[in-house]
Amino acid sequence: MNDWLERVKNKKFIASFSGGKDSMLALYKAKQVAEPLGLIAMLDETEEHSHSHRLTPEFLTAQAQAIGYPIYSRGASWTTYEQHFIELLQEAKKKGAEVLVTGDVDVAYEGTWHADVTNKVGITLSMPLYLKNHRSLVEEFIDLGFIAMVTTVNLSLGMRIEDLGRILTRDFLDELQQRSIDPCGEGGEFHTTVIDGPIFSAPLQVQPLDIITHENYAFLPLKLKA
C-alpha cells in the first residue's frame, strides 16, 4: 500500500527534481495537498550537467522559475552524491521542510537509498507514484497537459537515435510497447525533459543541439532560446 498522501498532506516539502516526467508528476501531485518549499537537483562533479538527464544548471533553473519554486543544487561525483544530497536535505529541513517528495515508481519505501537519507536527516519520505501502473502514470501525465521530450536513450535497451526529440504521446507509448519497451522508461531505457505543463507559467522555448553519444547512450542537449 502507498500511503504517500498521509505522509505529505498539509505539510511543507522539498522535491527531488530531475527535470523529467516522473519528478514533475510527483511534484504536481504533492502540491495539490501540501506546500512546496523548493526543489533539489543533483549535478555531476563538473557542475555542468545533472546526473542521468544531463540538463544544465541554467535549464534546471529555467524549469524551476517556470513552475515558481526555488531550486537548490550541488555538484557531486557518485562517491560523494549521498553526502551532498544529505547536506541539501538538512538545509531544506532548516527552512521548514518536513517531507521529501520523490518520483520513484518501483523503489520501495523501506531499506532503500531515499529511505536511508531521509531517516538520517529526520524527515519523512513521500512517493506519489509508488507502485502505480507504468502506462497509466504516463497517460495521466500526458492528459494533464504536460509536454515532455525524449532527451536520453539507452541504445542497448531497444531505444533508437531517432527517438531523441520525440514528444511523449499516447501513440508513442503504443509504439514503445510494441517494441517491448517500458512506456515509463523504468528500466533505464530513456529519460525525458519537461518543457511545459499545467504548473508552468509559460512553456520553455528550446532549441535541440547536436546529439552526443557515449557508450550505449545518446543524449540530445537542449538550449533555451533567447
pLDDT digits (tens, 9 = 90+) for 3-14: 999 999 999 999
Looking at the predicted structure, is the pLDDT value of residue 131 above 70? yes
pLDDT band at 124 (very low <50, low <70, confident <90, very high): very high
CATH fold group of domain 4-126: Rossmann fold (3.40.50)
> Would you say 125 and 85 are in contact if contact means Cβ atoms under 8 Å apart?
no
Grid coordinates of 62: 529555467
Q: Has residue 1 got a pLDDT over 70?
A: no
Across the chain, what does the average pLDDT equal?
Answer: 95
What is the band of 23 on the pLDDT scale with cuts at 50, 70, 90? very high
Percent pLDDT > 70 in the chain is: 99
The CATH H-level superfamily of 134-224 is putative n-type atp pyrophosphatase, domain 2 (3.90.1490.10)
> Which amino acid would we find at residue 170?
R
pLDDT per residue over 154-201, tens digit each? 999 999 999 999 999 999 999 999 999 999 999 999 999 999 999 999
Q: What is the pLDDT of residue 52?
A: 76
Q: Would you list the domain boundaries of the chain?
A: 4-126, 134-224
Residue 64 gets the label, from left (phi > 0), alpha (psi -120 to 50) or beta, of alpha
